[in-house]
Amino acid sequence: MKVLLINGSPRANGNTARALKEVADTLAAEGVETETVWTGSKPVRGCVACYQCKAKNLGRCVFGDDAANGIIEKLKEADGIVVGSPVYYGQPAGAFLALWQRICFAGTEFVKAKPAASVAVCRRGGSTAAYQCMNMPFEMLSCPVVTSQYWNVTFGREEGECERDAEGMQTMRTLGRNMAWLLKNLKSGDAIPRTADEPWQPMHFIR
């Protein structure tokens, strides 16, 4: 069993990294392998709706000059996913969202139906809005969303400050244990296989 943790902060060693480390350490203690990948601080591309990833069945984005395709490759080997981001203006970091939208679209098959969780880190407010935003792709892709004893949120501004949020750190540990519990149950062989999807029936309301 392996969980991929994705640090969507432009700061490699900020509070988002610290929160994800608490999750990763707990998973490791539960016997689950982890890998944490940082999305970086370089410019990233947003999706331009070219649809080439789908039309050509590429399994990757046509833009290969940022972290998106490397993360897609790592998702192929992951059994579970945790994404984390700082909160900017009540939203996840913009660069992370640009990457994550492309990853979820181009790499749908490597995200779909895997146990997944989001972690939001903020100074004061907007955490639940950002948390909800990060969960929405998982809900669209049939992922069991792993929760904790509270929303997966922790607070801190300066690097490492979230360690002083005792409840936030406990929430991260509970998230790690819940993810491990779900993965172990799914891997035990006793879990009922997931029912196949119905054919998609897309529609809109323009008449």
CB 5 within 8 A of CB 185: no
β-bridge partners, 118 = 83
pLDDT of res. 207: 64
Alpha helices (H) along 76-194: 94-106, 108-111, 127-140, 166-187
Q: Give the number of residues written for the chain.
A: 207
Decide: helix, strand or coil at residue 21. Answer: helix
CB 24 within 8 A of CB 33: no
Domain ranges of the chain: 2-187
Class of domain 2-187: alpha beta
The CA distance from 130 to 43, in Å, is 21
The CA distance from 142 to 152, in Å, is 19
The CA distance from 207 to 139, in Å, is 28
pTM, two decimals, is 0.94
Q: Which two tokens stand for residue 109?
A: 């098959």
Nearest residue to 167 (alpha-carbon basis) of 182, 178, 156, 154:
154
Nearest residue to 113 (alpha-carbon basis) of 139, 77, 131:
139
pLDDT of res. 39: 97
Nearest residue to 1 (alpha-carbon basis) of 194, 162, 179:
179
β-bridge partners, 38 = 7
pLDDT of res. 192: 80
Predicted confidence pLDDT, tens digits, the chain (207 residues) = 999 999 999 999 999 999 999 999 999 999 999 999 999 999 999 999 999 999 999 999 999 999 999 999 999 999 999 999 999 999 999 999 999 999 999 999 999 999 999 999 999 999 999 999 999 999 999 999 999 999 999 999 999 999 999 999 999 999 999 999 999 999 987 778 788 889 888 888 876
